[in-house]
Structure 1
Amino acid sequence: MNTAPDDSQVPSAPGPRLVLVRGDITEQQVDAVVNAANSSLLGGGGVDGAIHRRGGPEVLAACRELRASRYGRGLPTGRAVATTAGRLPARWVIHTVGPRYAQDDDRSALLASCYRESLRVADELGARTVAFPAVSAGIYGWPMADAARIAVATVRATPTAVEEVRFVLFDDRAYEAFAAQLP
């Protein structure tokens, strides 16, 4: 599977360069990898499970510490928090909890908040390169085209010192949905 950035690099001024990557987010050599976490922070399926498996016990231990201190009831939807990346090739994992899609309830502001809050945390860490998955577009059921629209628009509109945002997309359908959002 190709995990190197391809020709879908879009310089955006001001703001980070947007890059699309077809591949595995756990293989990205970046400052911070964003985890599409569940509120428990203790691992799960999809991206969350992959990050916890590859990151190893250090990521889980850091998440347990967060649960024992600041987030006893779990991380709220739309918020973000950082931990070590453990055995991942990144320095940090930024965990964010995306909303579940509901056709009769517009939760797009919460989804946008995941990207804004993750960039805020990245800035606090001093991260210059950040890899995002398609938050909420997996098991949480968000339609991929709409998830891509919200992700790209939010990253473009959010002031940040991050220099490069990679959208790491696992399959062709996700990649094409994000590519459609770039000029």
Structure 2
Amino acid sequence: MKWQLKKLGDYIEVVMGQAPLGEECNKDGVGTIFVKAGEFGERSPTVEEWTTNPLKIAEKDDTLVCVVGATAGKINYSSFRCAIGRSVAAVRANSTELNNIFLYYFLKSNIQTLRGKSQGAAQAVITREMLKSLEIPLPPITEQLRIVGMLTKAEKIKDLHKEGLLKATQLIDSVVSNEIFAVN
């Protein structure tokens, strides 16, 4: 189905990250979770560091975008409130016409577009303006929620499939090493 293309910048807020001083960061769980590009996972960032001086904040349900370097264009979903480093931007819907999870899937599907637009001789850079200039096919919110529901179910099936493959591989490795090639 075709929906009218809208300028993403009319529906989002972009918060560009900023790094606190090194002495304001810790691995002891003191302060606010601090996310840098290196902590990006498959879908959500891992928690490895905290800061006592959070300068720029991503809210729960924001889409996180790596904006500098080799990881530029990588997308994660923030399932928690956190401070963000200078190589990360938080993108959030600021309109009732755009669902945050729909926004996440849209940005995730546009990684190549973002990387293609990235600028910089030494390293790729994605700017606030580049994010805001993207055009998004914007269905009604009820349709966005239906699409999000389908994609969320598909992600769960994908996760179960991965888990099943991992368990099957472990079982095969165990049987082969312990039963067939065991040295008595």
What TM-score results when the alignment is normalised by the length of structure 1?
0.28
Which is bigger in relative contact order (C-alpha 8 A, separation at least 6)? 1
Higher gyration radius (CA): 2
- Bigger fraction of residues in helix: 2
